A and B are shown apart, each in its own frame.
Chain A
Amino acid sequence: MVKKIKKLKGLGLQVIPFSEVQELSISQRVKKILNIVLGNRIVILHGRLRPEEEARLIEDTMALVDHVKNFKGIELAVIEPNPRSMGFFLKMKHGIARKLVGNNTALTIIGPATVIKEIKRDPKKLELMLR
């Protein structure tokens, strides 16, 4: 018997380079991300949001859950090199790069909770489980 595999309708990925959001304010950055997520797409942001931006993202997400039908929220994860496993010079190089161009050594993945079942994360790997 052949088992039917359900297709994920309209699943899409959108990569945002750090340069595209660098000049934006917190509100604009969060709005841009949420607009993509509301279109049922997964955002891969080159770089990471600052903690206060992540908090704002959660706040705005919750406001949307309240107002947008069938929107249940987001899944969010950041992968970045572990500085503890880096040597001194590599750590310094990353530190200088971060000062000059911001933290774009990381990748931030944000997607609609209804599309992403779970983002499992441990220090060595990241698993994206889709519905």
Chain B
Amino acid sequence: MFKLLKKFSARVFGGLFRKRESLKIGFYGPPNGGKTTLANRICKDWTGEEIGTVSGVPHETRKVQIKEKVEIDYKGKILTFKMIDTPGIATKIDYENFLKFGMKKRNAKKRAKEATQGIIEAIQWLDDMDAVIVVLDSTQNPYSQVNITIIGNLVARKIPVLVVGNKIDLKKADVKKIVNAFPEYDVVGISAKEGKRMDDFYESLFALSKKV
């Protein structure tokens, strides 16, 4: 009888904890929104090392980057998850845009090719996510079709979403516009680069993990 009870509780509670341990949180959004900057900020805060490189040139992240275990110990609460930083999703890639950043034609073409593959990879990863943080540049118009497509796909897959309005340190930032564009979602305004309002972000991140 005792063995049976032990087996039963191991199956029920063990299953629950296994799911918690392998919680996968993805970082999605258009290029140059600051996904990797935010992922780096979290990684630096809690693991001491960064996940990837950042730059002002769009499509710096062209491959899905994974941090197997990130443990956040915030105000006595612990959240452990697998971090998946994805390349920015776009509907067009023009190598000539990279030339403006002083890149040589050959390198720009290579970057464009890698970026197209990165977008395909990012979309294919959607099905594997338990929760997603959509990182938007709060200085840009949020009503872009890419943003709507990303959030629409998450809703269709019933994946909980947290919308981050990044770059609030910039003058043109307008988080209210993002709130108005996506009124059904939790929106938090931060500056991942400057580390501004990260407390609000962590509160929202814990709330997001509870929705899984």
Contact = CB atoms under 8 A, between A and B. Distances in A.
Interface stretch (A7-15, A21-29, A55-63, A88-96): A55-63
Interface stretch (B3-11, B98-106, B114-122, B191-199): B114-122
B119 A78 contact: no
A123 B93 CA distance: 26
B79 interface: no
Contacts, number: 72
**Closest 6 interchain pairs by CB?**
A73-B92, A51-B152, A113-B92, A62-B116, A54-B149, A51-B153
A54 B152 contact: yes
Contacts of B94: 72-73, 113
A122 interface: yes
B90 interface: yes
Contacts of A52: 153, 156
Main secondary structure of the interface of B (DSSP, over half): helix
A119 B92 CA distance: 12
Given A62-B117, A122-B141, A55 B123 contact: yes
Interface residues of B, number: 26
A65 B120 CA distance: 11
A4 B68 CA distance: 58
Instruction: Name the prevailing secondary structure of the A interface residues.
Output: mixed
A45 to B, nearest CB: 13
A63 to B, nearest CB: 7
7 contacts: A58-B119, A59-B119, A72-B93, A75-B92, A113-B91, A113-B92, A120-B141
Interface in B134-159: 141, 143-146, 148-149, 152-153, 155-156
B19 interface: no
Contacts of A63: 116, 120
Interface string A70-108: 001111111000000000000000000000000000000
A74 B152 CA distance: 19
A7 B132 CA distance: 44
Contacts of A6: none
A72 B98 CA distance: 13
Interface string A33-61: 00000000000000000111011001101
Nearest to B154: A51
A131 interface: no
Interface string A104-130: 000000000100000111110000000
Nearest to A49: B149
Contacts of B113: 66
Contacts of A74: 91-92
Contacts of A72: 92-94
A54 B153 contact: yes
Nearest to A76: B145
A119 B145 contact: yes
